[in-house]
Structure 1
Amino acid sequence: MLKTLRAPGASSDLAERVADPRSACASPDDLSRNIFGLLGIPVDALDFPSLLRSMDLATRAGSPFLISTPNVNFLVKSQNNRTFRESILLSDLCLADGMPLIWIAKLLRIPIHERIAGSDLFGRLKSANATGRRLRVFLLGGAEGLAATVGAKLNAKKGGLECVGVLNPGFGTIEEMSSPKIVDEINASNADLIAVFFGAEKAQVWLLHNHWRLRAPVRAQFGATIAFEAGSVRRAPPMLRSTGFEWLWRIKEEPYLWRRYWNDGRALLAMLVTCVLPLMLSERRMRNLNKLSIARSDDHGSMTLALSGAAVAAYVDGAIEQLRDALDSGKRVIVDLSNTQYIDARFFGLFLMVRKQLASRGQKLLFTGASADLRRIFRLNRFEFLLSQEV
């Protein structure tokens, strides 16, 4: 079957860990997300009202809903830490928490315009009627005493958040911090939201490790938000945050952070030179691309979708329809790239969502036929790991 699309104007261990029979109905269809692949990670293009609506729907549904907040530190860590990267790829929403990500998106013509920082999200949730009702929140982690301070502040006001529990599990391995006692205490609170204040890597892995053990539907890592809310660290003024130089203020407030920002800055500069600039040049050369068509063939155990032409945003709606049908078939999904001219950030985002859906049932997204030029596009976008699962 041939269909022409008209323009409408995991590491396996982590994937298996989150695979669960309930996952088929646990969250809305990931393919409906307006998501883009940005230098190896997914980023959703959405605004605060849309985010709050998604959180409210997840809370009412009572199904696990993991929110990740990628910033430059996330981006850098994801390049070399497969487990950390998988925690982002398997999330239900990925928010651009960092102005440099917005700048890169602009350079690559990716329509992600609004920074949604974890600290700003927490502030919105505190506001009365932010989601239409008061959310019960469990505060996990942070320096000694900070969570209790913030919990008391939340409960002293009739805002959008009610603190129903605080816990500082101290230091230890993921397994030690996931003991039945800790998980039972969190679950007994009947929280709607678990706000985690570990370091980025530990928080993400902890959340994935306990994905099906936790009862609270919405979970997210909020980083330094606990210190801002407790008043132990002052957050940068809004003007400085909007210019992208919040990191200078953070170093002033917490001098020990200079090394992290130095290392992240150097890694980001390298990605700009080796990935972003070549991608900008590649896109300018791709002016006369063919319209995308998809030929579908299937046998007893697999369904193959052969993409011919340009896999770009203008044709994504038709591709979503075809890929959704492939997923619904329950068969092994193979994407044939033999005649694909180009893949843009929107299609990389779509492939990541298909990969996520397949991972939830213990399957893998397979590719075949990628040319040398197309492999270069995968590499420049930092998605060469997708091609590790080739037929």
Structure 2
Amino acid sequence: MLGVPVDAIDFPILLKSVTEAAEWRWPTLISTPNVNFLVKSQCNAEFRESILASDLCLVDGMPLIWIAKSLRIPIRERVAGSDLFGRLKARGDTGRRLRVFLFGGNDDHVVKVGEKLNATNSGLECVGALNPGFGTIEEMSAPQIIDAINASGADLLAVFLGAEKAQAWLMHNHSSLRPPIRAQFGATINFEAGTIKRAPPLLRSTGFEWLWRIKEEPYLWRRYLSDGMALLRLLATSVLPTIVQLRRVRRDAPFSVLVDERPSLITVKLAGAAIEANAGDAVEQLRAILGREKDLRIDLAETRMIDARFFGVFLMLRKSMVRRGRSLQFVGVSPKVRRLFRLNRFEYLLPADI
């Protein structure tokens, strides 16, 4: 959605995924795209890459839910980072408590929250708390800091830094960290410490939580004003034109996938409407192709339409190919198809010279 991946996931599936990742020690990076994430991803390629590399991207923000509905993206539930932390805390009948390391925050908030967690019979057991203070990513990645986190035996590393710094720190230390689940929870630490009150459920569900946040933290008005103006530009230049494009395409529009396999290269030709209604067979074929350890070329010369579902497919292909050290290339890109990439904010997937 608008250049970033989002997962159509609800809380039961999310909690099951987190539990399994903790049990099997699967490295799992969780990002929580909201309006601020979306805006920053448009101008900060490194920040965007941290979202693209994530294993789960939770839609945190009602404006993104509304945009998703307008673009036919099947996301119906807001999955906020603060709510995830609360649900993990509330889980009590699903086996052992998750061990959590609290990192970041202000003052001694992480220490106080850790003590509160351990003083109650919650689903989280604090096994470490550290506020590294203000510093560079490198300073906050000192060996003694990483060693302390790893020695804790934590299942979940909860990071309470600003979005850009948290994502950069997590990516910088990705290969060094041992806690399997890593996520940026931002202001959650302030809610848990009780220094800032969270908005009532009604304001959260109607998209006006930002008004409450400004009341609680007046300095945030500049960020919300800047993000709001950027979001309006995205609505005008990307969302509305894309809605018009989608309305012109029949859900039963023809579509075909042709695969040409060579010794070191597989070319997949997509012809017709690459839309959600036609995604099933294409996804199955592409999934089978990924296991062949060859470079991949997507030929779009005969593609007439691409919707959010297929841009999601492209992102999954890109992530898989990057992890395998293989290349993904788009060819046969007409001006019309390039415009679809541009409207959906995925033009960065295309080579600059086409």
The TM-score normalised by the length of structure 1 is: 0.88
After TM superposition, give the deviation of residue 128 of structure 1 in Å. Answer: 3.3
Give 1:144's aligned amino acid.
D
| Partner residue, 2:229 | 266
Count of residue correspondences:
354
1:145 maps to 2:128: no
Shift of 1:99: 0.4
What does 1:1-391 align with in structure 2 at a 5 Å threshold?
38-129=1-92, 131-287=94-250, 290-388=253-351
Distance of 2:327 and 2:187 partners within structure 1: 35
Residues 45-66 of structure 1 show CA distances to partners (whole Å, capped at 9, x for unaligned) of 0100000011111111112100
Which amino acid in 2 is paired with 1:91? S
- Cα distance in 2 for partners of 1:125, 1:319 equals 36
User: Cα–Cα, structure 1 residues 185 and 194, in superposed 2: closer, same or farther, change >3 Å?
Assistant: same
Q: Secondary structure at the match of 2:258?
A: strand
- For each residue in 1:50-100, what CA deviation from the matched residue of structure 2 results, as whole angstroms up to 9, or x when unmatched? 000111111111121000000000000000000000000010000000000
Instruction: Letter of the 1:344 partner, please give it.
Output: D
Question: Aligned letter for 2:50?
Answer: S
Task: Give 1:361 shift.
Answer: 2.2
Question: Hey, what's the Cα distance between the residues in 2 that align with 1:288 and 1:191?
Answer: 47
Q: Identity over the aligned pairs, expressed in percent?
A: 64
Alignment partners' CA distance in 2, 1:41 and 1:258: 25
Question: Distance in 2 between the 1:386 and 1:130 partners?
Answer: 44
In 1, the alpha carbon distance for the partners of 2:94 and 2:351 equals 41
Deviation at 1:342, TM superposition (A): 0.7
Which runs of structure 1 show a deviation greater than 6 angstroms over 4 or more consecutive aligned residues?
Answer: none
SS at match of 2:301: strand
Evaluate the alpha carbon distance shift between residue 130 and residue 122 of structure 1 in structure 2; reply closer, same or farther with a 3 A threshold.
farther
Could you tell me whether the CA contact under 8 Å between 1:64 and 1:212 is conserved in 2? no
Structure 2 distance, partners of 1:288, 1:261, is 37
Give yes or no for contact 2:61–2:80 (8 Å, CA) kept in 1: yes
CA offsets 1:223-275 (integer angstroms, 9 cap, x no match)? 00000000000111111111100000000000000000000000000000111
CA distance in 2, matches of 1:288, 1:202: 42
- CA drift at 1:208: 1.1
Alpha carbon RMSD of aligned pairs, Å? 1.3
Q: Equivalents in 2 of 1:294, 1:53: separation in Å?
A: 34
